[in-house]
């Protein structure tokens, strides 16, 4: 799967700009053809000058060849840049689109620092691989053509060259294979370092408050030994390749030129033809002098593998012909749903019916499966077995865009997007201000928003929000789309009980006839819901109104002493 993805990625990146790629190939072929012609053309110029016949026309032809080669070389640089930029941009867009389409559990395999590294350095490497590979293939073709010319001038020249260059080919192949693996190790070390640094920056206030900065520095720099080892091994492989090349290449060149000199002394070659032999020999050996080029090719191959690993991760399943969602009030049906993560059973054959328009509180101890069950509604998590239906339609048969529009989420720690407060509530500028204000009012956020310097147009970067204010903006964002199902995953945990009660009343009024799922940790929150689903170790222990479940001491124990006092 990854190899197939890699192949499509390499070709697709180059074909994002077919004009640039075609120009690159044409210019490269032109330069390589001229390179093969130049030694013979130079020999003709020397012969013409010494013989004194037709030197003007010969020199002019040679000058035209050189001028065309220079122009083609300029075009190679321009077209390669255009092709690589377009390919890299395409790969980065594919990566972002693919990651955002992954189920939450699949996306969590790639930490933020890891994805950042793949999106930047690895995508750039992948975007230029086919250009580099094409250049290497053409260089190899040119070297082969030069070898054929050497055979034509004397079979002994070609035979000696082939004998000397065979070990070089084996060395280059081994070098490319080893370098790719070492580049993978090195890039993985960089990604680990970036991930640890990202985590440390997110928790910088806690680190300072705890006085653990020195310990955190050691933790962040933990991957450095592995990074240094991979880098050292990479240079060791390169060093071994270079000294062998420096031994074999001059030795081969010396033997062939000595044979050519012997042919000159015997009168079978002219001095000009000796110069041509030297030119073709250097041309044939040129491929093996490009150690840096092979190293770059290895880095690009490693980049392609790392990008392909992400793209090869199965995205969210989408039916070929999505079914339309019928009118309804958000009735939910969980039918024998099982969710397993890393061998750990999160939900075990859960069956639950949520009437349309009802409010359902999900309660249970930490790890009981509340958030997992809530995540199933919007396909943030896929069931390993069983089916979830919305108004009678299996979620997997719905268009993902329609599902996102009909299921709104508010989380304990919301992430706000957009430049302004208004954009954070309703991404994009299409929503009417009255809808934004209504959503913010229902989330009890309008009052503090109006106190901001620019109100709803205040830039997010210019303000510091408390955890409760962040939660209220996240809740307003979920309400603004007026979905038929609203999921609150501990979305009011940072609010005081009075504010939470006010929001609950607003939702009961504004969302009358719509379904609400609440991950609840407070007894008061569960009491305001129409129904309570009590989860324990991934199973439904009981379903019913809070008042009916409350007499059970095991149910009361779920909320803990603090919640009992509030209740």
The pLDDT of residue 550 is above 80: yes
Distance (Å, whole) CA 503 – CA 475: 10
Distance (Å, whole) CA 436 – CA 432: 7
Is the C-alpha dihedral spanning 343, 349, 353, 356 positive or negative?
positive
Cβ distance 201 to 213 under 8 Å?
no
Strand partners, 332: 354, 390
User: Residue 25: in which H helix or E strand, if any?
Assistant: helix 18-51
Beta strands in 359-465 (DSSP E): 359-363, 385-390, 393-394, 407-411
Cβ distance 356 to 329 under 8 Å?
yes
Cβ distance 109 to 313 under 8 Å?
yes
Q: Where are the domains of the chain?
A: 2-311, 332-566
Per-residue confidence (pLDDT) for residue 71, from 0 to 100: 93
Residues contacting residue 434 through CB under 8 Å, at least 6 positions apart: none
The pLDDT of residue 299 is above 80: no
DSSP state at residue 488: E
Residues contacting residue 514 through CB under 8 Å, at least 6 positions apart: 329, 330, 357, 482, 483, 484, 485, 486
pLDDT averaged over every residue in the chain:
80
Residues contacting residue 102 through CB under 8 Å, at least 6 positions apart: 313, 315, 316
The model's confidence at residue 510, banded by pLDDT at 50, 70 and 90, is low
The pLDDT of residue 204 is above 80: no
The pLDDT of residue 356 is above 50: yes
pLDDT tens digits for 224-234?
Answer: 888 888 888 87
The pLDDT of residue 101 is above 50: yes
Which of residues 388 and 478 earns the better pLDDT score?
Answer: 388
The pLDDT of residue 389 is above 90: yes
Backbone φ/ψ region at 466: left (φ over 0), alpha (ψ -120 to 50), beta: beta
Using CB atoms within 10 A of its CB, is residue 255 exposed (0-12), middle (13-18) or buried (19+)?
A: middle
Q: List, in sequence order, the alpha helices (H) in 52-154.
A: 55-101, 104-107, 112-117, 123-153
Per-residue confidence (pLDDT) for residue 287, from 0 to 100: 59
Separation in Å, CA 527 to CA 442, 489, 501, 511: 20, 16, 11, 18
The SS3 of residue 398 is: strand
Kindly state the percentage of the chain with pLDDT values over 70.
81
Domains 2-311 and 332-566 share a fold: no
Distance (Å, whole) CA 104 – CA 511: 27
Distance (Å, whole) CA 350 – CA 229: 49
Put the strands of the sheet holding 332-341 in their side by side order: 344-354, 332-341, 385-390, 393-394
Separation in Å, CA 337 to CA 226, 330, 334, 388: 42, 18, 6, 7
Joined tokens for residue 13: 């990146």
Joined tokens for residue 388: 């979830």
Strand partners, 411: 489
Homologous superfamily in CATH for domain 332-566: P-loop containing nucleotide triphosphate hydrolases (3.40.50.300)
Is the C-alpha dihedral spanning 292, 298, 303, 304 positive or negative?
positive
DSSP state at residue 118: I
Separation in Å, CA 424 to CA 15, 52, 421: 37, 82, 5
Matching CATH number, 2-311, of 1.20.1560.10, 3.30.428.10, 2.40.50.140, 1.10.3720.10? 1.20.1560.10
Cβ distance 519 to 488 under 8 Å?
yes
Cβ distance 68 to 178 under 8 Å?
no
Distance (Å, whole) CA 18 – CA 131: 12
Which pTM value belongs to this model?
A: 0.67
Distance (Å, whole) CA 164 – CA 556: 84
pLDDT tens digits for 126-185?
Answer: 888 888 888 878 877 777 777 777 777 777 766 766 666 666 667 666 766 777 777 778
pLDDT tens digits for 367-380?
Answer: 888 888 998 998 88
Joined tokens for residue 380: 């943030």
Cβ distance 198 to 112 under 8 Å?
yes
Average pLDDT over residues 43-52: 71
């Amino acid at each position: 799967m990854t190899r197939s993805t890699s192949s499509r990625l390499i070709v697709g990146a180059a074909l994002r700009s077919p004009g640039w790629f075609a120009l690159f190939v044409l210019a490269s072929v032109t330069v390589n053809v001229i390179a093969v012609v130049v030694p013979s053309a130079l020999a003709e110029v020397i012969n013409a000058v010494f013989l004194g016949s037709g030197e003007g026309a010969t020199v002019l032809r040679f000058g035209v060849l050189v001028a065309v080669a220079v122009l083609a070389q300029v075009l190679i640089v321009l077209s390669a840049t255009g092709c690589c930029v377009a390919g890299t941009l395409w790969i980065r867009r594919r990566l972002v689109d693919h990651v955002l389409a992954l189920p939450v559990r699949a996306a969590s395999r790639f930490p933020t620092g890891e994805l950042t590294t793949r999106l930047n350095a690895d995508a750039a490497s992948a975007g230029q691989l086919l250009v580099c590979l094409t250049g290497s293939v053409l260089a190899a073709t040119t070297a082969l053509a030069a070898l054929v010319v050497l055979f034509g001038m004397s079979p002994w020249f070609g035979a000696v060259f082939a004998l000397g260059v065979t070990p070089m080919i084996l060395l280059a192949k081994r070098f490319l294979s080893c370098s790719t693996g070492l580049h993978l190790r090195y890039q993985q070390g960089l990604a680990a370092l970036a991930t640890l640094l990202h985590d440390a920056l997110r928790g910088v206030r806690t680190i300072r408050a705890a006085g653990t900065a020195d310990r955190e520095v050691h933790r962040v720099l933990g991957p450095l030994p592995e990074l240094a080892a991979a880098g050292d091994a990479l240079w060791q492989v390169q060093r071994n390749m270079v000294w062998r090349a420096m031994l074999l290449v001059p030795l081969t060149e010396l033997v062939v030129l000595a044979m050519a000199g012997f042919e000159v002394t015997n009168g079978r070659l002219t001095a000009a033809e000796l110069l041509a032999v030297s030119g073709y020999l250097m041309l044939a050996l040129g491929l093996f002098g490009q150690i840096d080029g092979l190293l770059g090719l290895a880095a690009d191959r490693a980049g392609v593998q790392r990008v392909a690993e992400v793209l090869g991760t199965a995205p969210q399943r989408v039916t070929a012909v999505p079914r339309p969602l019928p009118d309804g009030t958000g009735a939910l049906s969980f039918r024998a749903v099982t969710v397993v993560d890393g061998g750990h059973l999160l939900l075990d054959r859960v069956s639950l019916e949520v009437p349309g328009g009802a409010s359902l509180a999900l309660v249970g101890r930490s790890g009981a499966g509340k958030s997992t069950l809530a995540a199933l509604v919007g396909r943030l998590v896929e069931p390993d077995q069983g089916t979830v239906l919305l108004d009678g339609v299996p979620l997997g048969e719905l268009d993902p865009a329609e599902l996102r529009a009909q299921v709104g989420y508010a989380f304990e720690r919301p992430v706000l997007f957009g430049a302004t407060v208004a954009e954070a509530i309703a991404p994009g500028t299409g929503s009417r201000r009255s809808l934004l204000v209504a959503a913010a009012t229902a989330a009890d956020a309008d009052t503090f928003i109006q106190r901001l310097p620019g109100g709803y147009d205040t830039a997010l970067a210019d303000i510091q929000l408390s955890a409760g204010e962040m939660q209220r903006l996240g809740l307003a964002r979920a309400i603004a789309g007026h979905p038929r199902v609203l999921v609150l995953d501990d979305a009011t945990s940072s609010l005081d009980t009075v504010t939470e009660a006010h929001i609950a009343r607003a939702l009961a009024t504004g969302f009358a006839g719509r379904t609400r799922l609440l991950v609840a940790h407070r007894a008061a929150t569960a009491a305001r819901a129409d129904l309570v689903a009590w989860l324990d170790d991934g199973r439904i222990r009981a379903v019913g109104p809070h008042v009916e479940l409350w007499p059970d001491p095991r149910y009361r124990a779920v909320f803990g002493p603090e919640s009992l006092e509030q209740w």
